Structure 1
Amino acid sequence: MSQIAWRVVGTGGAALAGIAARKVLTKAWEKTTHRPAPVNPQQSGVGLPEALAWTIVSGVGIAVVQLLVERAAANFVRERFGEQGLPKQYRTLEGP
């Protein structure tokens, strides 16, 4: 049950958070720059500086949101099922 909980809350939550973050960042970009987000940097009319700026903003923004959701999900699973409910890479390292 704990592995299923991690898949739903951890992996699924991070994926949904990434999609939501991209939508929010796109709206914020459009409101701030008064131009559509350059989701296709090869499109004519999109300069290299604009394409780079969008790549940095969207990449960092999505990564931060996914990190926060994964941390919250790991804490949720850890509280409900203990360390064994998490994948090995998310378990707390216990020193000697």
Structure 2
Amino acid sequence: MTTTTPLAEGSALVAKRMQASSGQSFPRHRASAESALVVTAGRCTIRFADRLQELSAGETAVIPAGDWHQVEADTDFSAVHVMPRDIRFTFSA
């Protein structure tokens, strides 16, 4: 199971908690602005079109605007996703 829960909102930024069980994936998407994913527990892999980025608890990835990607849980994991308030997402079919 994957979940995304709002944590905080400011005038320019929002933060959301992302959680997933081992082997689960969030939908493949791209965003209109860059964002940061900070893993707080477990491990995940971000699959970009041209590379993989593996993250463990305490590590951070900056996800570029416009890059198609998908976050997959390698173990049960949680992360905080910080992004601009006006970010827009496009999901693949």
What range is the shorter-chain TM-score in? under 0.3
Larger strand proportion, structure 1 or 2?
A: 2
Larger helix proportion, structure 1 or 2?
A: 1
- TM-score, normalised relative to structure 2: 0.20
The structure with the larger Rg is 1
- TM-score, normalised relative to structure 1: 0.20
